[in-house]
A and B are shown apart, each in its own frame.
Chain A
Amino acid sequence: MGPLIPNGIISGDWNFVIALLLGIAFGFILEASGFSSSRNIVGVFYGYNFVVLRVFFTAVIVAMVGFLYFDYFGWLDLDKIFILPTYLSPMIAGSVIMGFGFVLGGFCPGTSYTAIAIGKIDGLVFSIGLFLGIFIFSEIFPLFKDFYYSGYLGNVTLSDVTGIPAAWFAFAFTIIALAAFWITMLIEKRVRKNIKEYKF
């Protein structure tokens, strides 16, 4: 059956309407979870608010387990879904750069859009920065072209690389997430006692 649009079950004409609707749901969940606030987001790095970890890890384990069931019941052809390609070194370098951007800016792209929506100037400035950053990247791209395409492993999954079934990764990730939920709950309690700059 699924994916519906690539399999022609829903016409591609609906693509942009669906994009808008899924985006609205995405933005709603991000904002309602508190991600329109940079101070909520970076709390994950200083221990005073682990909402990012809770939402993110829960989402990943729900989606991982969900995909396994969808595949098992034959609802979704996992061979037809897009698997993000792996370019080893540029992806690690890019993530390190993003990590700096995350701690400095307090947003990631999606959350900054929801921050603009509720009137945060810092969200708007972050988004302007994104635009400038991608422009700068496109200008310096010729210098880094070889690096950009280096370390290509293909559109591989964890199972393709290790030979271990996906279910084991979902299981391991669930255990890690549950442990992280518990540990961070304890850390958060302790850190919050000593922080006065932030209202909970």
Chain B
Amino acid sequence: MKKNTITKNRPHYINPYLGGVLLGLLVILTVYITGRGLGASGAVKSAVATTVDVVAPNNAESNPYISKFISDDHSPMYNWLVFESLGIFFGGLLSGILFGRVKKPWVEKSPKITSKTRLIAALAGGILFGIGSQFGRGCSSGAALSGSSTFSLGGVIVMLALFGTGYAIAWLFKKLWI
């Protein structure tokens, strides 16, 4: 009974330092096997390229950015990062099931804001992250984590500028969270 209440009220997360060690070992394993690190935003880039290619093939070829990812041999979805990102989803689901966190669709938010506000902010955040990740040559996974781990100058720059900006502007959006 006591254990039940704990499960109900407290999400079971693993020790963050254990999580960090596992994640670090995973970065090493990934580079050891494939020669490259982990990523996440690249899969969405492939999805955008595929969508544009299917909906408007002429636009896809004439767009100087999209055309970089389109070839005649195979769809842009036939890409390492797409399979890896599918894995991220299933790995998250596996952990969610194991720790009892999978629920019916819901919006997580601070009690001070409405669900609508939260979703607008999430959409805006996603759009900005999408745009930024293209200029940044990757997001927190590909550039900041994998890049910094392999001592890449660009990776360290993304890590510092990304988190630095977060700290600099957090007070602006305080109401969204606390």
A193 within 8 A of B: no
B6 within 8 A of A: no
Complex contacts, A130 vs chain B, CB 8 Å:
41, 44, 126-127, 129-130, 133
Contact, CB under 8 Å: B132 / A101: yes
- In the complex, A39 Cα to B113 Cα: how many Å? 13
A171 within 8 A of B: no
- In the complex, A94 Cα to B25 Cα: how many Å? 28
B side interface size, CB within 8 A: 129
- In the complex, A8 Cα to B45 Cα: how many Å? 28
**Which of B11, B118, B132, B158: most chain A CB closer than 10 A?**
B132
Complex contacts, A58 vs chain B, CB 8 Å:
16-17, 19-21, 23-24
- In the complex, A29 Cα to B95 Cα: how many Å? 8
Complex contacts, A54 vs chain B, CB 8 Å:
16-17, 19-20
Contact, CB under 8 Å: A137 / B65: yes
Chief secondary structure at chain A's binding surface: helix
Flag A75-95 by CB within 8 Å of B: 1 or 0 each.
110001111111110111111
Return A188 CB to nearest CB of chain B, in Å: 11
Partner of B131, one of A36, A40, A45, A136: A136
- In the complex, A85 Cα to B8 Cα: how many Å? 46
- In the complex, A184 Cα to B44 Cα: how many Å? 33
Contact, CB under 8 Å: B101 / A118: yes
A161 within 8 A of B: yes
Flag B110-144 by CB within 8 Å of A: 1 or 0 each.
11100000110111111111111111111111111
Contact, CB under 8 Å: B126 / A26: no
Contact, CB under 8 Å: B96 / A137: no
Contact, CB under 8 Å: A159 / B151: yes
Flag B44-66 by CB within 8 Å of A: 1 or 0 each.
11011101100000000001111
Flag B145-172 by CB within 8 Å of A: 1 or 0 each.
1111111111111111111111111101
A183 within 8 A of B: no
Return A46 CB to nearest CB of chain B, in Å: 5
Contact, CB under 8 Å: A157 / B158: no
Partner of A34, one of B13, B25, B38, B124: B13
Partner of B33, one of A2, A97, A153: A2
Contacts A23-B83, A62-B23, A115-B92 known; list 4 others, CB within 8 Å. A23-B87, A46-B170, A58-B19, A113-B89
Q: List 9 A-B contacts (CB under 8 A).
A: A24-B87, A58-B19, A58-B21, A59-B27, A98-B158, A100-B132, A109-B40, A126-B122, A138-B48
Closest 9 CB pairs of A and B: A105-B125, A23-B87, A129-B126, A133-B130, A58-B20, A99-B165, A27-B91, A62-B24, A114-B92
